[in-house]
Homo-oligomer: A and B are copies of this chain.
Amino acid sequence: MKGVAVELGVKDPSVRRTGVNRGVAVIDFILRIIAITATLASAIAMGTTDETLPFFTQFIRFRAKYDDLPMFTFFVVANSIASAYLVLSLALSIFHIIKSGAQNSRVVLIFFDAGMLALVSAGASAAAAIVYLAHKGNTRTNWFAICQQFNSFCERISGSLIGSFVAMVVLILLILLSAAALSRRY
């Protein structure tokens, strides 16, 4: 009877929890792949934005490139760093699928995920602020909208924000998943 009690009381839930944590680790892995795609797409879409208008004067060709504005450069850099980090973090994610009882590595992941969340949000938000100005302008400061002239440039920079915002949501979910996995451990 003692043996049965031990089996029911200790071994069984432990096995169940390991199974759940393995499932969480697999979801973690998939979410990281999504986040890598999203940040990489954002960085590439923004980093290749370059529009030259078909008309020009004797001295000036009208051209808009993403690095005319430092916030867009920051956006590309932030998304590239986040993407590189996420690729590296896949190694730990696979480690968690194999060894689902791991704890310290999860704490490390939560910390860096939080850092990357702050970085990606900052990049996305700085770029979004400029995209807003480019579309609407601001009369009080005499900053005029430039999207009338640079149409495809504006479409491109607006579109490239999407990936970053997707990555923000995914990173918050990743932090939640790691925290849930930590709390489920024996």
Bound form: Cα–Cα A130–B129 in Å? 7
Interface size class of A (residues with CB under 8 A): 35 or more
Q: A111-B176, A114-B172, A122-B122 are in contact. List 13 more A-B contacts (CB 8 A).
A: A69-B138, A69-B141, A71-B132, A107-B180, A114-B171, A121-B121, A126-B128, A129-B129, A130-B133, A133-B143, A141-B146, A143-B144, A179-B182
Pick the contact of A110 from B64, B71, B121, B176 — CB < 8 Å?
B176
A58 within 8 A of B: no
Residues of B within 8 A of A142 (CB): 144, 146
Pick the contact of A183 from B104, B134, B138 — CB < 8 Å?
B104
A106 within 8 A of B: yes
Pick from A130, A140, A179 the residue with the most CB of B within 10 Å.
Answer: A179
A118 within 8 A of B: yes
Chain A 110-137 interface 0/1 with B at a Cβ cutoff of 8 Å (1 = within): 1100110111011111111110111000
A43 within 8 A of B: no
